[in-house]
Chains A and B, each alone.
Chain A
Amino acid sequence: MRATTLRNRVSGQFWWAASVVALLLVIAVLVAIFGFVISRGLPALKPSVLFTVTSGTSGGLANAIAGTFLLVICGVVLVTLIGIGTALWMVEFANPSQRRLVRFAIDVLAGVPSIVVGYFLYVALVESLGWGFSLLAGAISLTIIMLPFVVRAADLALSGVPRALRDGAIALGARPATVTFSIAIPWAIPGILTGLLVATGIGLGETAPLIYTAGWSNFMPSLAPTHSPVGYLTYVVWTFISMPFSDSHALAYAAAALLMILIFTLNLVSRTAVDYWVLRTRGG
């Protein structure tokens, strides 16, 4: 039995205080960064900035906004197909050792630095296949980055479908495909959706894999999948802040603020909407 000496109590109080201070410190840093970006970005975020394209290092962000959305949407479409397909295969078809292998691959993929993915695709797609900087190369890089998040979320959600639901459906004579598509997937949708929204947020904020795949463009993105570079917001933050022009600084802050607002909104939506969905469909 340990004695609660005065010394122990005092040092305990000290460490508790330290832990609270650490917590406050972390919150303060986040608030500081958020405040910094918003306070400098919002004044620069004029309507004209949203609707004109970049010319050199001034002008607006319309091309970067459109490019970011286009890249992320294409990436999300690809990752939805591949990610949910992967998860369904693991849950419905794979044997345990196959499952372990794919899970291992997904964990490894999650740990691959994004610049390595970008560099690999640059050599493989942009140069070797001759796609040039392009929407498709950029979207594929985002897909690889997002894939682990989606697969994990979908896998957990699908694995969580109650046995009773499945067994009941099968007892009623439902075909396996019906069980998958009418029982398992609908049940897992909130979890899958959360994974997709998290992945979308990550896609919005990525830079390193896009530099050498999507390139950069001053113009609105064309829908051509190859040979046409695409602009995106993170590029503006990265490059325009090191230009010695106040115009370009303003654009960098505006782009950063826009990214933060988008990602925070997405985060809020995924929290509230998904909770709401679960309440609605499962009756809380």
Chain B
Amino acid sequence: MDSNLGYAGGAPKARLPLLQRIGTQRVVRFLFGSAATISTLVIVLMLVFLGIYAFPAIRFNGLGILTQSVWNIGDQYGSGHVVRAGITAMQGAQFGGLVFVFGTVVTAFVAMLFAVPLSLLVAVALVYRVPPRLRPLVNAVVELMAGVPSVVYGLWGIVVLVPFIGQRLGPWTTEHLGFLPFLGGPAGSGNGLLASSVLLSLMAMPFMVATIRDVILAQEKSIFEASMALGSTSWQAVTKAVMPSVTNGIFAAVLVALGRALGETMAVLMVCGGAVGIFAQNIFQSVNTIAAVIVSQLESALTDPTGLAQKSLAELALMLFVITLFVNIVARLILHGADRSGEA
């Protein structure tokens, strides 16, 4: 679990380039070197390939992919075409991805609203309240939770969570608490924002708990003890002394978890309700995410003879790629900064 956050946590010491001076190592070096280029190559290929492939869609859609909410591959059985920016699509075609971008961001954000405070509490309990004898067991439970496949979360979501939300929680809440923002209006079927976010938060928590636990443990125990010695309560020692010293680590953990939640596919696909052309008015209504749309719409997109629907999905995939890339780079920069200040 200690490699969770990449390298910044445990940067290895520089090593003498012993083998570099020896010519007989060329073959080994070439083989290892080609292995090492693969990861970079895959990323470059993915970006370039998706970019080139999606280019006609990027031109056709312009900013519309971000500002419009209607996703319509066009009139399949008509004979008309629409041409924009020199690109041909079926009559009526419009590829607005706003609903999916909205769903992606909102499900991940609400998931973080649940998962971040809970993970902080759980991590603190793990470090300070679980008896040492039980600690390996509880740690194992957290790790096992991280290993549960997303379709299994989705299975539980479909069979247990969605009916509970759709038949009990949703109707009760909209009736009794409907005056509160995001809780009023029709409760829908149970498939939707809340179900997706609950699953996402469950999936994000093991990682966040483990990482926050590790950054707390990596801090000097003395911070906690010094604060206690200064007369604060144990809880104050945790919130006022220990936590501030590890905010960077926590923030990076949250960002990495956020990146994963943004790109999670299967569990969300199974419970999101597959909203098209509409934004959820409350936390119970259907949503849709970029990742889920790529799975659920790819094959209808393949029936577009102009190919533009599929290319627009590639554009969405590229957008998701760039969004997660951005989040992960920020996480890395924060950790990197933390490391530098630690060295100084």
Contacts and interface: CB of A to CB of B under 8 A. Distances in A.
Is A bound to B? yes
Interface in A150-205: 151-153, 155-156, 159-160, 170, 176-177, 179-180, 195, 201-202, 204-205
A114 B158 CA distance: 22
9 contacts: A16-B234, A30-B141, A36-B159, A105-B40, A111-B256, A112-B324, A115-B263, A116-B46, A124-B45
B262 interface: yes
Q: Which 3 A-B pairs have the closest CB atoms?
A: A113-B263, A85-B35, A205-B149
B36 A116 contact: no
Interface in A69-119: 81-86, 88-96, 101-117, 119
B152 A259 contact: yes
A281 interface: no
B118 A22 contact: yes
B210 to A, nearest CB: 12
B6 A267 contact: no
A159 B130 CA distance: 33
Interface of B: 2-3, 6-7, 10, 12-15, 17-20, 22, 24-25, 28-29, 31-36, 38-40, 42-43, 45-46, 49-50, 53, 118, 121-122, 124-126, 128-130, 138, 140-145, 147-156, 158-160, 202, 205, 209, 230-236, 239-240, 256, 259-260, 262-266, 270, 291, 294-295, 298, 313-314, 317, 320-321, 324-325, 327-329, 332
Interface string A8-22: 110111011011101
Could you tell me the dominant secondary structure of chain B's interface residues? helix
Nearest to A263: B147
Interface of A: 1-4, 8-9, 11-13, 15-16, 18-20, 22-23, 25-27, 29-30, 33-34, 36-37, 81-86, 88-96, 101-117, 119-120, 122-124, 144, 147-149, 151-153, 155-156, 159-160, 170, 176-177, 179-180, 195, 201-202, 204-208, 211-212, 234, 237-238, 241-242, 252-253, 256, 259-260, 263-264, 266-267, 271
B224 to A, nearest CB: 13
Given A16-B235, A92-B32, 7 more contacts: A85-B32, A102-B36, A104-B332, A109-B43, A120-B317, A147-B39, A242-B270
A237 B156 CA distance: 11
Given A117-B46, A201-B147, A206-B149, A89 B33 contact: yes
Contacts of A103: 6-7
Given A18-B121, A36-B160, A2 B152 contact: no
Contacts of B231: 1-4
Given A112-B263, A205-B150, A208-B291, A237 B42 contact: no
B151 A86 contact: no
B236 A176 contact: no
Contacts of A256: 149, 151-152, 155
Nearest to B143: A267
B317 A152 contact: no
Contact of B325 (A29, A89, A111, A153): A111
B20 A93 contact: yes
Contacts of B129: 16, 19-20, 23
A120 B52 CA distance: 12
B14 A155 contact: no
B53 A123 contact: yes
Given A22-B118, A37-B155, A177-B25, A144 B42 contact: yes
Contacts of A241: 155, 158-159, 270
A33 B153 contact: yes
Contact of A105 (B39, B154, B295): B39
B7 A12 contact: no
B12 A234 contact: no
B149 A82 contact: no
A19 B121 contact: yes
A37 B28 CA distance: 47
A22 B158 contact: no
B321 to A, nearest CB: 5
A120 B15 contact: no
A113 B12 contact: no
